[in-house]
Amino acid sequence: MDKDLAIEGILLGTASAGIRQTERDDIAVIEICEGSNVAAVFTRNAFCAAPVTIAKEHISQQAPRYLLINSGNANAGTGSEGYQDGLQTCQMLAETVNCSSTSVLPFSTGVIGERLPTALFQPAIETAVQNLKETGWSDVARAIMTTDTRPKQAETSFEINGQTITIVGISKGSGMIRPDMATMLAYVATDAEVEQELLNSCLNNAIDKSFNRITVDGDTSTNDACVLIATGKSEFCITQEQVSELEMFQAALGNVCIQLAKAIIKDGEGATKFITIEVQGGQDKEEALEVAYTIAHSPLVKTAFFASDPNWGRLLAAIGRAGITDLDISKVSVTLGDVSLIEAGEPAVTYTEEQGAAVMAEDEISIYVDLARGIATETVWTCDLSYDYVKINAEYRT
């Protein structure tokens, strides 16, 4: 957090509006230089929040110049009044910076079902605009936190033909995490020039292997959004034709997004373990993912991880109920870390409880499931279910 990250063409500022707490800033403004391309992906939750509806409308009308983010209130479940509230905050920023209101994308995260306190926004927006600076990334990473215990950011730089390209990203999210798209907010920017359609496809590819592969509790939020900005200030243009350069850019972008996604899981509500679930041998991607998510969402598996208990029967039960109707369990193998649990449907003869317990005692644990039905492989990241998850979510509003 102490690095002065920057992407030329992006300015960031924060301020305190006191929406829910006053200890840290809760309003962020991101200014995007003219000529940038911006791609965005939003939650698929049918009850999406007012700011999601507005952001989708605005980005379809013109290239965004400003992002306005608040934490503490999600402006979700607020009906048509919430929609008007969201529009009003866009208007406030638009008037402050003298741009059109549709060039502002609003984002909100926090409690659902309460009216947005718009009266608090005007002075905070003015302050945030005054604070705009190129090195404001870590300030924004902090201002968008809700139950997050730490800010999340990632960056990478790489050279193409002697030109340095930089990608910087920040994210927030801790509970209500089963991104689909992500249950979180994430903002990623690069100084590369990337044509709009290609930028959209790069973002979708990166999300599909990062934010769409994490789950804390299976609850897809109403407010998820991920934005990718390409300012083009590096004067290096990524195009469909330059295959190797595009691959480098896609890999670097994927890497940043995976780092941000994993950071969300490591900061999952009450999480004490970081768990990687790799399912291989699926007939297709869908069934491999279904098995991975069934394991990742099983409260019995998650509480066993919390207890560092190698209760692998719960893994089998989860695999068995994942909905593959013709699953031949006599072919299934399961490995915990480097310890074989099940080999072709039978308990591994080499397994000892001590070996299992040693793996479970680690902070980071990997599970490998081989369905032996095909060649599809999928990886999902999750965390355990602890007392603190219950505590945090039972006390969130009180």
- Residue 379, phi then psi, degrees to nearest 5: -125, 135
Q: Which of residues 148-177 bind a second copy (CB under 8 A)?
A: 175-176
* Amino acid sitting at position 320: G
Contact between 206 and 246 (Cβ < 8 Å): no
Indicate which single residue of 300, 362, 364, 375 sits in contact with a second copy (rule: CB under 8 A). 300
Closest approach of a second copy to the CB of residue 345, in Å: 6
Please say if 183 is a catalytic residue. Answer: yes
Q: Rule CB under 8 A: is residue 390 a binding residue for a second copy?
A: yes
Task: State how far the Cα of 302 lies from the Cα of 389, in Å rounded to an integer.
Answer: 11
Closest approach of a second copy to the CB of residue 197, in Å: 25
Q: Rule CB under 8 A: is residue 80 a binding residue for a second copy?
A: yes
Return all residues near 296 (Cβ < 8 A) that are at least 6 apart.
Answer: 215, 218, 275, 277, 380, 382
Q: Which is nearer to a second copy, 81 or 235 (CB)?
A: 81
Q: Which is nearer to a second copy, 254 or 347 (CB)?
A: 347
Q: Give the residue from 253, 350, 285 showing the smallest Cα distance to 39.
A: 253
Which of these is catalytic: 14, 109, 183, 294?
Answer: 183
User: Cα–Cα–Cα angle for 336, 338, 340, nearest 5°?
Assistant: 60
Q: Which of residues 177-216 bind a second copy (CB under 8 A)?
A: 178, 180
What angle separates helix 313-320 from helix 285-297, to the nearest 10 degrees? 140
Residue spans of alpha helices (H) in the chain? 50-61, 79-97, 121-130, 137-143, 196-208, 243-266, 285-297, 299-306, 313-320, 353-360, 387-395
Q: Which stretch binds a second copy (CB under 8 A): 120-128, 195-203, 249-257, 294-302?
A: 294-302
DSSP H helix total and E strand total for the chain: 11, 18
Indicate which single residue of 102, 138, 298, 335 sits in contact with a second copy (rule: CB under 8 A). 298
Q: Rule CB under 8 A: is residue 112 a binding residue for a second copy?
A: yes
Q: Which of residues 58-77 bind a second copy (CB under 8 A)?
A: 74, 76-77
Catalytic residues: 183
Residues forming the site for a second copy (CB under 8 A): 44-48, 74, 76-81, 111-113, 175-176, 178, 180, 217-222, 297-300, 303-304, 306-307, 309, 311-314, 316-321, 324, 327, 329, 342, 345-347, 385-387, 389-391, 393-398
